[in-house]
Structure 1
Amino acid sequence: MVGPTATLTPLSRADGSASYRCPSTGSNILGSVNAPVELPARRDALRPEDATVEVFVKPGTAPGGVGERYIENVIKNMLAKLILGREKGYARRGVVITLATIGGESVGRGDSYLTLLPALIHTALLALLSAAVPLSMTFSATVLAVNASGEITREPSEKEAAAATSLHALAFSSKGHLLLNESQGAFDFDTWEKVHARALAICHGTLTRTSDGDVAMAEDVDGQPLEGTVRETVEDKLHQDYAWKTDAP
């Protein structure tokens, strides 16, 4: 399966930015991060020893609604646990993340945002790395749809998601720990166990043993693990930025 494509720092006036495109769904997200920034003197922003995380999701040219507010809260709660807001210069200041849909499938009024959630949080992660915001770990995420016959579909389209009996968006840390589990629809625990195992394989690959006895993650039917895609995006950007130094005689 063809993996997603991502680039770092496509915007010149943000502290950090990233674009992310998932070919299976056609979703194309542009994200920016400004941090650390001064926040308005609101009561909920007065955190004397920590940073305040703000997330804004923009559905293309349409105004935001209830769906955007819900998914903003989901992303904010997850990232707030990973951003090291007590680092020097971040206390009493803000980390503002803006994520805009600029192409591909869009989420209509009343439709589920779970199909777009992995692309949104991958964009947020890459933009945070671009802005050099301190993080406790990185992560990867995917969304799976389960139909009436129990078949699991990775990164379902809006049509496939509408026909599914349940949708599941899961995110895993760089160490394989479950960070996010958002599900909707009717399903039992056995179905969720299968979804969890498939999502972990998509994000981290499957375990294989090398010739020297070491255990490594390998590609499977879903292609390269998403964790590898995130890592390669950052490595490519570093190589591009420091090519003048590494190529020097």
Structure 2
Amino acid sequence: MVGPTASLSNLSRADGSASFKCPTTGYNVLGSVNAPIELPARRDALKPEEATVEVFVKPGNTTAGVGERYVEGILRTMLQKVILGRERGFARRGVVITLAIIGGDAVQRGDSYLTILPALLQTSLLALLSAAVPMSMTFSTALLAVTKSGDIISDPSPVDSKTASSLHVLAFSSKGHLLLNESQGPFDFDTWESVRERAYTTCRGTAVAGSDGDIAMGEEGEEGHADGFIRETVEDHLHRDYTWKIDSA
């Protein structure tokens, strides 16, 4: 199966930017980050001791609606956990993340936005890394669908997502802790536990974290596809930027 593709620093007028394309869903997301910047108006909304994170999701072929506002809230809450907004120069300023959906089938009104949430999260992370925004950790995400027969599908296609009994998006930090858990549809706890184990394997590797989120000594498995993809994308970008220095060494 062809994996996702990504690139960094695509835009010249942003502090950081990234593009991310998922071949399974066909979504192509372009993200930009500007930080730290002065936020216009709404001075009462600024935090006195840390940065204010703003997220905007722009659908490519229609105006933003309730679905975009909903997913913006999820993204903002998630990213506030990892951005070090108290670093020098960030207090009373803003970290503005803009995500444009420029490819793939549009999310129709009433459809689940969980199908594109992992692509939005991964694009946000790569754009933040491109902008050198200080973060306490990185993360990786996974989308899983549970069929009516109880099978779990990783990276489901749009058809599988629409016919699934439940959809789940989970994000794990680079330390192996669960950062995000968004689900839709009926499921029981045993099903969710199986989904969590599969998502952890997809994000981090073969080892599965315990119920408290900790990894026992010596149990960490091989690097997961999602976690390794982020690392390889950043390494490739750095290698291209410093090729002249490597060649002259």
Same fold (TM over 0.5): yes
CA distance in 1 between partners of 2:166 and 2:156 (Å): 11
Residue 217 (structure 1) shift: 3.1
Residue 26 (structure 1) shift: 1.0
CA distance in 1 between partners of 2:141 and 2:79 (Å): 13
1:98 maps to 98
Asked if structure 2 preserves the Cα contact closer than 8 Å seen for 1:39 and 1:45, the reply is no
1:11 maps to 11
| % identical aligned pairs | 68
Asked if structure 1 preserves the Cα contact closer than 8 Å seen for 2:61 and 2:106, the reply is no
Residue 22 (structure 1) shift: 0.8
Residue 46 (structure 1) shift: 2.3
Residue 23 (structure 1) shift: 1.0
1:211 maps to none
2:215 maps to none
Residue 153 (structure 1) shift: 1.1
2:59 maps to 59
1:42 maps to 42
1:232 maps to 232
CA distance in 1 between partners of 2:41 and 2:64 (Å): 24
CA distance in 1 between partners of 2:190 and 2:219 (Å): 27
RMSD, aligned α-carbons: 1.7
Residues 1-249 of structure 1 mapped to structure 2, 5 A cutoff? 1-207=1-207, 217-218=221-222, 225-249=225-249
Deviations 1:119-168 (A, max 9, x none): 00000000000000000000000110101100111122222111111000
Deviations 1:11-52 (A, max 9, x none): 111100000011111111000000011012314432111100
CA distance in 2 between partners of 1:183 and 1:199 (Å): 13
Asked if structure 2 preserves the Cα contact closer than 8 Å seen for 1:50 and 1:91, the reply is yes
Asked if structure 2 preserves the Cα contact closer than 8 Å seen for 1:144 and 1:153, the reply is yes
State the SS of the aligned residue for 1:71.
Answer: helix
What letter is aligned with 1:47? K
Count matched residues.
241
Asked if structure 1 preserves the Cα contact closer than 8 Å seen for 2:51 and 2:95, the reply is yes
CA distance in 2 between partners of 1:154 and 1:21 (Å): 16
Residue 247 (structure 1) shift: 1.4
In the alignment, structure 2 segments of 5+ residues that lack a partner are: 209-217
What letter is aligned with 1:127? A
CA distance in 2 between partners of 1:157 and 1:116 (Å): 11
Residue 2 (structure 1) shift: 2.5
State the SS of the aligned residue for 2:113.
Answer: coil
CA distance in 1 between partners of 2:44 and 2:141 (Å): 29
What letter is aligned with 2:166? S
Asked if structure 1 preserves the Cα contact closer than 8 Å seen for 2:84 and 2:134, the reply is yes
